[in-house]
Amino acid sequence: MNRYQSTIETLISPAGIHLNGTDDFDIHVYDDRFYRHVLRYGSLGLGESYMNEWWDCKALDTFLYRLLTVNLEKRVRHHLQWQSLKAKIFNLQSITRAVEVAKKHYNIGNDLFEKMLDKYMIYSCAYWSKASTLEEAQEDKLDLICRKLKLSAGMEILDIGCGWGGLAQFAAERYQVKVTGVTISSEQAALARKRCEGLPVRILLEDYRLLTGSYDRIVSVGMFEHVGYKNYDTFMKVVKQCLRKDGIFLLHCIGGNESGIHTDPWIDRYIFPNGMMPSPTQISNAAEPYFALQDWHNFGLDYDRTLMEWLKRFRNSWDQIKAHYDDQFYRMWEYYLCISAASFRAHKNNLWQIVYTHPDYPERYSGVR
């Protein structure tokens, strides 16, 4: 056993994980380059070596969850200084840089997302309070959002980060509202327009910073993670300018327990370039000059189940879509879904629905669940 292997064994032992052990969550190493790569590059090295087939694990999500429960990411910190320096020097989510995530992630093929997601193609946490299937859980989430927004027929809604138009379609059909959806992904915009054809829905391919107009309600689902701390004030200011004084704004986003200015290096390089999860303090500080807080709802554990459902659908549909991708992409996507599920299971990440109004909102607001 070389010293790199010995160090890895020492690091993972508090999590009850063994190298080449018999439990499903034990890691099996097939290439000795794994040990040095992980010690040198930390979480980036762990993900890359999985993509390269240097190691494997039967219960990948459980293995990653166990690592997170012993805070291994804080014991092996690599590339974080550069990540922090980059985030401090540059606006990683400027208008020109913001499109990078669309090219890298959201434009990689609608066929993949159609197979992995539910019929509304909702790419955010489902609501499993009563549901037993992903379809039910996503419909319950959409209806929860609409009820929190207190929608009524004829209202004009702005959906910032509308994805493939699922929420716009649902709200227009079920609540008879008019919706303007905004995305920076050309693939999303094309499919959203097709999905919402014949409904009072318009889809804009536009950056949120360019938005104008006046709306009764504004909603943003799973987009704030791409805004970045240097732009939080701008985001809130735009929402305030577009929201009527008797309006309601709902922010649905992933968040972390601690304030930071960058994301995990592997996620940044391979999945969501320039992403960043906000903390409660960062969100509150950005919203305070503009809004009154009415409700803050956390159901982060529901994302664990949602991601595992996506993983199952992705694996089951691989034979139908693999002509457009390669084996390394398969392992990358599998790792992405598993590490994400593990982070919610370990309470490293949260999922928040936050309701704001103007400070002089004229009515009493009562939250719903």
Do 225 and 313 have their domain in common?
A: yes
In a domain, 331, yes or no: yes
pLDDT band at residue 332 using 50, 70 and 90 as cut-offs: very high
Do 72 and 101 have their domain in common?
A: no
In a domain, 99, yes or no: yes
For 284, the token pair is: 């509150």
User: Average pLDDT in the 309-313 region?
Assistant: 98
Do 59 and 106 have their domain in common?
A: no
Containing structural domain, residue 47: 3-78
What's the chain's Rg over C-alpha atoms? 21
> 242-261 burial string, b = 16+ CB within 10 Å, else e?
bbeeebbbbbbbbbbeeebb
- Judged against a pLDDT cut of 70, whether residue 132 lies above it is answered with yes
Where do the H-state alpha helices sit in 103-231? 110-116, 134-148, 166-175, 186-195
For residue 307, give the CATH number of its domain.
3.40.50.150
Do 123 and 178 have their domain in common?
A: yes
Match 């930390």 to its residue by tokens: 42
> Euclidean distance between the first and final Cα of the chain, in Å?
54
Please give the Cα distance from 249 to 240 (Å, whole number): 9
Do 116 and 16 have their domain in common?
A: no
- What is the reported pTM? 0.93
- Judged against a pLDDT cut of 50, whether residue 79 lies above it is answered with no
Do 73 and 120 have their domain in common?
A: no
Do 158 and 306 have their domain in common?
A: yes
The pLDDT value recorded for residue 1 is: 60
> What is the rounded average pLDDT for all residues in the chain?
93
Amino acid at 201: V
The pLDDT value recorded for residue 72 is: 75
In a domain, 84, yes or no: no
Based on the structure, what is the number of domains in the chain?
2
Please give the Cα distance from 198 to 2 (Å, whole number): 65
The pLDDT value recorded for residue 238 is: 98
- Judged against a pLDDT cut of 60, whether residue 78 lies above it is answered with no
Do 145 and 68 have their domain in common?
A: no
User: Average pLDDT in the 161-181 region?
Assistant: 98
Last residue of a domain, one of 47, 78, 109: 78
In a domain, 362, yes or no: no
In a domain, 335, yes or no: yes
pLDDT band at residue 104 using 50, 70 and 90 as cut-offs: confident
The pLDDT value recorded for residue 77 is: 55
In a domain, 88, yes or no: no
Do 338 and 291 have their domain in common?
A: yes
- Judged against a pLDDT cut of 50, whether residue 82 lies above it is answered with no
β pairing state of 201-205 and 215-221: unpaired
The pLDDT value recorded for residue 345 is: 98
For 128, the token pair is: 């499993």
Residue 271 backbone dihedrals phi, psi, to 5 degrees: -120, -65
pLDDT band at residue 61 using 50, 70 and 90 as cut-offs: very high
- Report the DSSP beta bridge partners of residue 357: 248, 292
In a domain, 366, yes or no: no
Listed in sequence order, the residues at least 6 apart from 22 whose beta carbon sits closer than 8 Å to its beta carbon are: none
The pLDDT value recorded for residue 60 is: 98
User: Average pLDDT in the 287-315 region?
Assistant: 98
The pLDDT value recorded for residue 88 is: 52
Do 243 and 132 have their domain in common?
A: yes
275 or 236, which is more confident:
236
Amino acid at 63: F
Q: What order of strands is seen across the sheet that includes strand 215-221?
A: 201-205, 178-183, 156-160, 215-221, 243-256, 349-357, 292-298
- Judged against a pLDDT cut of 90, whether residue 92 lies above it is answered with no
- Judged against a pLDDT cut of 50, whether residue 320 lies above it is answered with yes
User: Average pLDDT in the 2-12 region?
Assistant: 90
Do 289 and 168 have their domain in common?
A: yes
Do 53 and 201 have their domain in common?
A: no
- Judged against a pLDDT cut of 60, whether residue 80 lies above it is answered with no
Residue 353 backbone dihedrals phi, psi, to 5 degrees: -115, 115
Instruction: Taking the CA atoms of 150, 154, 158 and 161 in sequence, report the sign of the dihedral they define.
Output: positive
